[in-house]
Structure 1
Amino acid sequence: MPESTRDAAPQTGSLRVVVAGSFGNIMENYDNLVYAYSAVTLGKLFFPESSSLVGTLYTFAVFAVGFLMRPLGAITFGHFGDKFGRRITLVVSVLMMGAATTLIGVLPTYESIGITAPILLVVLRMVQGFSVAGEWAGSAAFLVEYAPARRRGFFGSFNQVSTAGGFLLASCVVALNSSIFTDEQLTGWAWRLPFLLSALTAIAALWLRFGLAETPAFSEEQAKGSTAKSPLREGLRTQFPSIARGFGFTMLWTVAYFFFLTYLPTWLTGVAGVDADVARTSNIVGLITLTVLIAVFGALSDRIGRKPLLLGSALGFLVLSWPVMALLGSGNTVGVYAGQLIIAVILAMFSGPGPAAISELFPTKLRYSTMSIGYNFAVMAFGGTAPFVATGVVELTGSGLSAALLPIVSAAVTLAVVLGMRESAHRVLH
């Protein structure tokens, strides 16, 4: 089958496209995760009348509240992204996220304004959740639609390189903040600094995106006059099976990210008794490894296909989650680092081909809205709740290893979905 104009996208300006398509994703994931990595401090400041455990639970519950807004954000941004274009929609999502995170950085605490403080925190987390819902799918569609035909996996992988990069940046900034300032300074004012940094990253993301044209694929749809008048309605009517596959496909992906990369540092120190410095440093080493390997696996998927890597990752989490948690829980420093590296490799196998694979499920004129629905509903259900549920499961069972049931169950579901998907790496983007 001959390649379409969209699949023969020129490589001129590829670096600018990748940076602009990815940088906003770095910023949005940084904003999202700097909250999670600051959970213990935020619990003391916004829920001071609770015990340490309950305060952490409340903080993770507020973290989960942001994810409840993702379906609304997915529907809203997906509609405008398919109707008016990817670029302007991504500009709006970055602007909203940066504003919400910066406002958290200037928010009065419970000591200053009482119950109003956690209420405002919830509202700002809702704005964060709404805006980040538009970023991920828009960034994935943007990169894949700009990519040359045989490099969609590689281009799309930078959606996940930037996602992991956002996690890594948040982890490094919070760790550096904790090492520079005393506990008294952190709870007094220094906790605000990582949130205030968001204002600078938002400005950089906006500058990069304003200078780009619309994607070749969407521009072709506009030129033909074939963009959807009502993307949500048409998408639900014609693409519901693919939306359902996108939901199941995302289940393991989102649990793995928010369980292993968000909850795990808290689990290592609070449950396994690992030294806080070892937990933070091993997490950063794992994130660096993940960030580097994602693009490698994305490029590999352009050669050997998406399915072999996706299946290998799902099987890896199914079989290895429990042993890896046991290794991490041993308290042995070498074991902790080894466990973090194993997680990084297995997750990179999924994250590399993942953005291209899920994008290729949907037609261009409906891609933003339909991919947003499947992906963000799964993230709402399994991502934001993962740290909260894992904390509750450990408390109920009295066993730290019981938390491994979350990635095991999600891996079984995603494995079944991927087995039923057809290989799409070498097919024309429709």
Structure 2
Amino acid sequence: MRKAVLASAMGNCVEWFDFGVFSAGVITAIVGTVFFPPEEGGNATLRSFALIAAAFLARPFGSLFFGPLGDRIGRKKVLSTTIIMMSASTFVIGVLPGYGTIGIAAPLTLLAVRLIQGFSTGGEYGGAATMIAEYAPTDRRGFYGAFLELGTLSGYVLGAGLVLGMHVGLGEEQMNAWGWRIPFLVALPLGLVGLYLRTRIADTPEFERLEQAGAKAKAPLRETILRNWPMMFKLICIVFLLNIADYTLLTFMPSYLIDFLHLADVSSQLTTIGVELAMIAVILPLGALSDRIGRKPLLISAAVGYLVLSWPAFAAIQTDSVLGVAAGYAVVGGLLVLMLAVVGSTFPAMFPTKVRYGAFAIGYNISTSVFGGTTAVLVGSLIEKTGNNYVPAYYLMLAAAVAIVPLLLIPETARVPIDKVGTENAPELVGSGARSS
């Protein structure tokens, strides 16, 4: 169990280490300058955000390929492939020559690398969550599932913290010249550690049971789409909110504080890292809490919170007070961690075992591609055009309104064995399913 959790969470750590590096305000601006032709009045940060968005276009294709493959040949083999592809892609960014050296080939090559990374990431999260859910005991699935997003937050803090340390230690001139490359290079050793861990565990007991019984889906992709599309649609709507909140906080906010609110680089990064550390401190207890009271109370509380509190939070962030910025940031992060603590145990339990990897990966990545990856560039562009710094709050409120209905409709599966969920044998629980089984 411990090996499976560590191996699964390590992939999320690698994925979000990249986001922690790429979305750090100083790196975002440098990448937009190094790899693109100089444009008078051009916004280097938005060019980098556009690259992030472009990479997400490949994620649904990765999920369509890797998801059903994971249902056919096993979770372990696919996850061993995705983690090395992700880490190698991030590493390559650190060695690519810039526009001043190879001209237009620089942004095109960078785009290709990001598309490969997006393709591999499309098969990562669904498989990692599936592996933990299928290993975890029923009464502790929430606790162990929270480790998946602990990997997310830890990877982000590691990436952003490394950038911050180097920026302070090297200074702006050296950071612009060569220091920005170092954080990208660190991704490869992290990926190799993850690969080692994943090759040292067996596949999940649930997949092995299906394999031994000869009960695997003969056409996983077809069965996934034809028989599970209603639940996949609910997943897409819920992930809409999760991703808007996730990518607003972790990808857009550092640059938002610098470019639109004119906070200093170091102050922006310290604020972001501080909120992330607070989220790390509470995510495992929240996961354990969901084993007692159910997943839906936490998810619905987060959705209602974003609907009601997003505008006040961004009003606080726009004050000149450091405490106001921290308080508003904490509200956005606190609501997000309510979701992060339980998505690793909730989403896999929405689908039956024989199509779990594919159904989860496809639904999750379609929503992530359309909404999550475009958050930073869309919100940033709207702020530039309208001059309204409340755009992120309005987007969060819209996403919350969309997510509330499917959250009310999905079954509570907190105490349902993982081999029973998503099947005709799964009990339809009402209210807080943790009180019945």
Same fold (TM over 0.5): yes
1:254/1:51 CA distance change after superposition, 3 Å: farther
The equivalent of 1:239 in structure 2 is 228
The equivalent of 1:418 in structure 2 is 407
Q: Determine which of 75, 80, 84 is the counterpart of 1:91.
A: 80
Contact 1:43 1:52 in 2 (8 A): no
Q: How far is 1:362 from its partner?
A: 0.1
Structure 1 residue runs of 4 or more that deviate by more than 4 Å after TM superposition:
none
Query: Are 2:13 and 1:26 equivalent residues in the alignment?
Result: yes
Partner deviation per Cα, 1:169-218 (whole Å, 9 max, x = no partner): 11111111211112221121111000000111011101111100000111
The equivalent of 1:291 in structure 2 is 280
The equivalent of 2:192 in structure 1 is 203
Normalised TM-score (structure 1): 0.95
Query: Are 2:324 and 1:335 equivalent residues in the alignment?
Result: yes
Contact 2:308 2:397 in 1 (8 A): yes
Q: Name the amino acid aligned to 2:300.
A: L
Q: Name the amino acid aligned to 2:10.
A: F
Q: How far is 1:295 from its partner?
A: 1.5
Q: How far is 1:274 from its partner?
A: 1.8
1:343/1:53 CA distance change after superposition, 3 Å: farther
Query: Are 2:174 and 1:188 equivalent residues in the alignment?
Result: no
1:51/1:410 CA distance change after superposition, 3 Å: farther
Contact 1:314 1:411 in 2 (8 A): yes
Which secondary structure does the structure 2 equivalent of 1:197 belong to?
A: helix
The equivalent of 2:312 in structure 1 is 323
The equivalent of 1:126 in structure 2 is 115
**Hey, what's the Cα distance between the residues in 2 that align with 1:55 and 1:170?**
20
Which secondary structure does the structure 2 equivalent of 1:150 belong to?
A: helix
Query: Are 2:130 and 1:138 equivalent residues in the alignment?
Result: no
Partner deviation per Cα, 1:83-135 (whole Å, 9 max, x = no partner): 00001100000111111111111000011111110000100000111111111
The equivalent of 1:102 in structure 2 is 91
Aligned residues: 417
Contact 2:79 2:123 in 1 (8 A): yes
The equivalent of 2:434 in structure 1 is none
Which secondary structure does the structure 2 equivalent of 1:300 belong to?
A: helix
The equivalent of 2:426 in structure 1 is none
Query: Are 2:51 and 1:62 equivalent residues in the alignment?
Result: yes
1:291/1:372 CA distance change after superposition, 3 Å: same
1:51/1:400 CA distance change after superposition, 3 Å: farther
Query: Are 2:77 and 1:111 equivalent residues in the alignment?
Result: no
The equivalent of 2:248 in structure 1 is 259
Partner deviation per Cα, 1:227-283 (whole Å, 9 max, x = no partner): 112111111111111111111111110111101221011111111122222211010
- Aligned pairs for 1:298-313 (under 5 A) are 298-313=287-302
Which secondary structure does the structure 2 equivalent of 1:181 belong to?
A: helix
Partner deviation per Cα, 1:7-43 (whole Å, 9 max, x = no partner): xxxxxxx222211111121012212442222211111
**Hey, what's the Cα distance between the residues in 2 that align with 1:150 and 1:41?**
47
Q: Name the amino acid aligned to 2:314.
A: M
**Hey, what's the Cα distance between the residues in 1 that align with 2:36 and 2:296?**
45
Deviating more after overlay: 76-85 vs 20-29: 20-29
Question: Structure 2: which 5+ residue stretches go unaligned?
Answer: 421-437
Partner deviation per Cα, 1:300-343 (whole Å, 9 max, x = no partner): 11100011110001111111111111111112111112222222
Contact 1:68 1:380 in 2 (8 A): yes
Q: Determine which of 145, 151, 159 is the counterpart of 1:156.
A: 145
**Hey, what's the Cα distance between the residues in 1 that align with 2:249 and 2:41?**
22
Q: How far is 1:52 from its partner?
A: 6.1
**Hey, what's the Cα distance between the residues in 2 that align with 1:291 and 1:422?**
27
Contact 1:161 1:292 in 2 (8 A): no
Contact 1:274 1:331 in 2 (8 A): no
The equivalent of 2:425 in structure 1 is none
Normalised TM-score (structure 2): 0.93
The equivalent of 2:387 in structure 1 is 398
Query: Are 2:2 and 1:15 equivalent residues in the alignment?
Result: yes
Q: How far is 1:48 from its partner?
A: 4.3
